[in-house]
Every structure is written in structure tokens, then in C-alpha cells.
Amino acid sequence: MKVIITGATGMVGKGVLLECLDHAEVEQVLLINRRTIDLKHPKLVEVIHTDFSDYTAIVDELKGYDAAYLCMGVSAAGLDETRYTEITYLFTINLAKTLYGLNPKMTITYVSGQGTDSSEKGRMMWARVKGRTENDLLKMGFSQAFMFRPGTIIPLRGISSSTKLYQFFYDYLMWLIKFIKFIAPNSVVNTTQLGLAMINVTKAGFNKKILSPKDILVASRL
């Protein structure tokens, strides 16, 4: 199985990457990054690309893949709806359209989040934009498309968050996250479980297109 990962310099993408590199059934991993990742591995191929509105320059390098794990994203804090839509919706949809033209039978997974608004009409800007992104990905026609909505995510394997506020919570409030997991075990996932779930749904499918934290936990054990 050959997979593409976006967002591998972030916490979720890095977690998915590490699981793919370790998995016996994943033979090659292509990263699309703005900046290089400090990691070498025989399975790993990296493409440095800066214009996420247009993938024409790297189209030949995207052919022949079985899955794409779309983990690229930013916090909505400090961004207006136009800029957040460009980064969250347009960058993702432009890549997905390119991939569909090359590999229509591939599986795609997209990481949104709990609270994503499928109606696209709610009060929360980020939730509307994520909902629009999910909806358009599901309608695109891929062989399989799964929307991952994790809630609280615990980073494992030495991974840290590139968002300073999130990392602050991990550094100083991990005890609270672990307590939440203790009292509501199906509400918290870790980066290893996210990665395994993506690999497993690619191989075996899943009975839902939108996966809650509980569904992600189930998929990680398939």
C-alpha cells in the first residue's frame, strides 16, 4: 500500500506518519510539505511544495497511490473566515481534486474535529468551514472517503504540537486530559490510534463515513 500524507509537520500528521512507517503493509509514504521534516526512512519520499492552491508542478509525483491522509490544518484563532477558508477548505479541496483525477479508486481520510457542522449554517465559523470541506470530499467520488472527528488527542512517541496554546495544555494539563480519558474513555484518542485507524479503514473499510472518537478507537483495533 502506498500512501500520501499532508500535515506531517503537525502533531496529527506526524503521528499518522510514524504509524505508516512502522506498518508492514505500507510500502511507501509520500509527504507533501512546505518545509522538510527531520526524518529519514527507506519508505519515505518527500515533496517540498509551497503553493497549495495549485499542485500542477508536482502532479507526476502523485500518481499511483492507494490512499491520502489529509491531516493539514491550522487553528482558526486570529484568522477571518476568508483566510481560514482558503487554508482549510481550498487547499484541501484543490489537492483532493488533483488526486481524484489521478487515483479515483484511492481512499482518502480527512481530519476535521468534534463539533464540525455538516449543515454549514451554524454560528461557529471554523465548524462551518470544516463541514463544507467534509461534505465536498464525501461528494467527490473517491472509492472510499472517511472524515475523522477526534476530540481530545494525546500525542505519543515524543510528538509535540506546533500550536503553542495546545502544547501549553499538553505540558501543564495532561493530568486533566488523562482524567477525562479515565471517566470517559471513548472521548479521547492518541496519535497512534489515529494512524492505525486510517490504515485500517483503508484496508478494510468502515461502516460509517464520519468517525467520532469512539469510532476511531474501534477502527484502530480492526
Domains in the chain: boundaries: 2-220
Res. 50: pLDDT tops 80: yes
pLDDT band at 166 (very low <50, low <70, confident <90, very high): low
- For the chain, what's the residue count? 222
- Whole-number mean pLDDT of the chain? 91
pLDDT average, residue stretch 208-221: 97
Res. 75: pLDDT tops 90: no
pLDDT average, residue stretch 5-15: 93
Res. 169: pLDDT tops 60: no
Q: What CATH number does domain 2-220 carry, 3.30.160.150, 3.40.1210.10, 3.40.50.720, 3.40.50.2300?
A: 3.40.50.720
pLDDT of residue 157: 76
Of 145, 115, 143, 120, give the one whose Cα is nearest residue 131. 120
Res. 176: pLDDT tops 80: no
pLDDT of residue 77: 81
